[in-house]
Amino acid sequence: MNIKEEVQKLLMEIGPGKMSSTAYDTAWVARLGEIDWSLSSQALNWLCEHQLPDGSWGAEKPFYYHDRVISTLSAMIALTHRGRRMHDRKQIEKGLLALENITSGATQGLQADPNGATIGFEMIVPTLVEEAEKLGIIKQQGERILGRLSELRKIKLKKMMGHRINRHVTMAFSAEMAGLDGLNMLDTENIQEDNGSVGHSPSATAYFVRYVRTGDNRGLDYLKSVIFPDGSCPNLLPFEVYEKAWVLWNLSLIHTLDSTTKDLFQPHLDFLSSSWHPQRGIGLSIGFSVPDGDNTSVVFDLLTQHNKEVDINGLLAFDEKDYFRCYELEANSSISVNIHALAALKRAGYDPNHPTIKNILSFLKKGQLAQGFWFDKWHISPYYTTAHAIITCVGFLDELIEPAIKWIISTQQENGSWGFYIQTAEETAYCLQALSIYQQRGGKLSPDILRKGTTWLKLNQDPPYPLFWIGKGLYAGELVIRSAIISAIALADGM
C-alpha cells in the first residue's frame, strides 16, 4: 500500500457520504407503488434479491436481533403490500418462517444484543407489529417482540410530552413511529428539511410521502436523489459533516504526511469550520437541523488540532454536568460520545483535575465492564469504543485504560486479527490504531502484535465491510472505515 496515494485518493473522494444499503429503509420505499411505480419496483426487486438464506432480512453477519427483527418486519410488510408474483409469494412464505423463528426467541434474543436497540426500535416496532398483525403476517406477538423495551418506549414518550415531531428534534429521523394513528404527533408543516427529506432518512421520508402528505414532490425528489442504482437505500443521506470529520480525524493520526497531502485537508477543514455554530456545535450534515454531541466533539477536536479558531461554547452546550449528551431527549447516554467529548476538552487544554473531566471519567468508569472494555449504542463492536478510549486517554488518564489495553492484547486472534463476533478489517484497524499510539507514547508491546495485525489487515482490507454501525438497521460508512484502515496500517508501520 502506498499510504500517500491512498490518503490523497480518499480525501478527493469524500463528499455527501458513502454508505451501505439497508433492508429496512429499502422496504419503506418499496411501499410507494401507488405513488411512484418505478421507484417502488426497483426497491422491491432489491428486497427480493437480498433475502438471507434463512428467509430473513438485515445484516447477514453478525446476527444482531434488533436489526433482523426490524428489517424482516419491514420487508415482509412491503412484500405483502406489493408482492404479486409467484416468486414473491414464495419469498413471503420463507420470510414468515424466518420471522416466526426470530420472534419466538425475541425476548431473550433482544436482551442478548449487548449494545441494545437500534435507533428508534422501541418506538417503531409497535407500529410495524400492529400493521403486520392487521395484514395477517403475525398474530399477537407485540409483547413477545418488545419485551423489556416497552419500558424504554414509555420513557421516550414521556420525554416527548409537549413536543411535536418537527425537523428540530431528533425523533424526526424516526417519524414513521407515529404510524397511521399518531399523525397528530407530527408538526407536518415543519418536519421536512430543505432537501425535502424527513430527518435525512429514506424510511421516514417514504412514510411521509406515502401516509402523511401523499405524493409530496419534495419528498419524492429527495428519495430519487438518494436511491442507489440497484434500487436500494442507505440508512441516511447526506452526512457530509460526519464523513469529512471522521475521515480527517483518522488520517490526522498519521504524523508523517507531506505538505502536499496536508493541503488536501484544507477545503474540508474550511467547510467544517464555516459550518460550526458557536452556541450549538454541529450536526451530521449542514442541512440537518439537529446538532449532536458526537460530531460536535470530533469536529472541535479536529479543528483545534489544525489551528482553526472554534468557539468552545458549541461543545459545552452538550454538557449535562454528569456526562455529555449526544441528542436532546435521548433515553440513554453514549460512552463513545463522552470519550470524544473528553478528547475535545483535552485538546482545549482541560487537565485531568478539571471538574468536567472528572465527571466524564466517573461516567466512563461506571460503564466500563470488568474485562476493561466498553459497549456503546452507536457501534456493535466494543473494539471501536475501547480503542478510541485508549487513543484519548493514554498519557492523560492511564489508570482508566490499562485494563482496556490488556483486553485488546489478550483477544488478538492467532492470525493477527481482531473481532468480537467475526474477524474484521474494521475492528483490527481500531486495535492497531490504539496499540500503535500506546506504543508511540511509551507503552511496551511485543513487536509480533503489530506485525501480525498489520500483515492480516493488508491482506483483508478491501470492502465490502460488515455492517457494524447502529442506525435504524445496521450499516457501514465505507470511506470512514477505509480511513481507519489506512491510518492503522500507517501507524503500525511506524509512519
What whole-number distance in Å separates Cα of residue 375 and Cα of residue 16? 28
CATH number for the domain spanning 409: value is 1.50.10.20
Q: Are 316 and 324 in contact (CB under 8 A)?
A: no
222 and 242: one domain?
no
282 and 254: one domain?
yes
105 and 29: one domain?
yes
Structural element, H or E, at residue 48 = helix 37-49
Radius of gyration of the chain (CA): 22
208 and 270: one domain?
no
Smallest CA-to-CA distance from 123 within 103, 152, 99 is with: 152
User: Looking at the domain assignment, is residue 232 inside a domain?
Assistant: no
User: Looking at the domain assignment, is residue 16 inside a domain?
Assistant: no
Tell me the backbone φ, ψ of residue 329, rounded to 5 degrees: 70, 15
pLDDT in tens, 232-251: 999 999 999 999 999 999 99
Cβ neighbours of residue 470 closer than 8 Å, sequence gap 6 or more: 115, 118, 119, 377, 378, 379, 380
Q: Are 40 and 32 in contact (CB under 8 A)?
A: yes
249 and 219: one domain?
no
What whole-number distance in Å separates Cα of residue 167 and Cα of residue 272? 21
pLDDT of residue 381: 97
User: Looking at the domain assignment, is residue 188 inside a domain?
Assistant: yes
pLDDT in tens, 412-460: 999 999 999 999 999 999 999 999 999 999 999 999 999 999 999 999 9
pTM for the complete prediction?
0.94
User: Looking at the domain assignment, is residue 157 inside a domain?
Assistant: yes
162 and 249: one domain?
no
246 and 148: one domain?
no
User: Looking at the domain assignment, is residue 231 inside a domain?
Assistant: no
Structural element, H or E, at residue 204 = helix 202-207
347 and 468: one domain?
yes
Smallest CA-to-CA distance from 99 within 122, 126, 118, 75 is with: 75
Last residue of a domain, one of 226, 249, 267: 226
What is the tally of structural domains in the chain?
A: 2
CATH number for the domain spanning 161: value is 1.50.10.160
334 and 477: one domain?
yes
User: Looking at the domain assignment, is residue 17 inside a domain?
Assistant: no
Query: First and final CA of the chain: distance in angstroms?
Result: 12
**Around Cβ 439, how many Cβ atoms within 10 Å?**
18
Tallying the residues shown for the chain, one arrives at 495
**Residue reference for cell 447502529:** 470
Cβ neighbours of residue 100 closer than 8 Å, sequence gap 6 or more: 138
pLDDT in tens, 178-230: 888 888 889 999 999 999 999 999 999 999 999 999 999 999 999 999 999 99
What whole-number distance in Å separates Cα of residue 390 and Cα of residue 371? 14
**Around Cβ 77, how many Cβ atoms within 10 Å?**
20
Predicted confidence pLDDT, tens digits, the chain (495 residues): 799 999 999 999 999 999 999 999 999 999 999 999 999 999 999 999 999 999 999 999 989 989 999 999 999 999 988 766 666 778 888 888 887 787 777 667 767 788 888 898 888 988 888 888 888 887 765 556 655 555 666 676 676 666 789 999 999 999 999 888 888 889 999 999 999 999 999 999 999 999 999 999 999 999 999 999 999 999 999 999 999 999 999 999 999 999 999 999 999 999 999 999 999 999 999 999 999 999 999 999 999 999 999 999 999 999 998 999 999 878 789 999 999 999 999 999 999 999 999 999 999 999 999 999 999 999 999 999 999 999 999 999 999 999 999 999 999 999 999 999 999 999 999 999 999 999 999 999 999 999 999 999 999 999 999 999 999 999 999 999 999 999 999 999 986
Last residue of a domain, one of 226, 247, 271: 226
User: Looking at the domain assignment, is residue 14 inside a domain?
Assistant: no
256 and 179: one domain?
no
What whole-number distance in Å separates Cα of residue 114 and Cα of residue 421? 11
User: Looking at the domain assignment, is residue 210 inside a domain?
Assistant: yes
275 and 423: one domain?
yes
398 and 480: one domain?
yes
Bridge-based pairing state of the strands 469-470 and 474-475: antiparallel
Last residue of a domain, one of 226, 260, 288: 226
Domain residues for the domain of 408 are 3-9+237-492
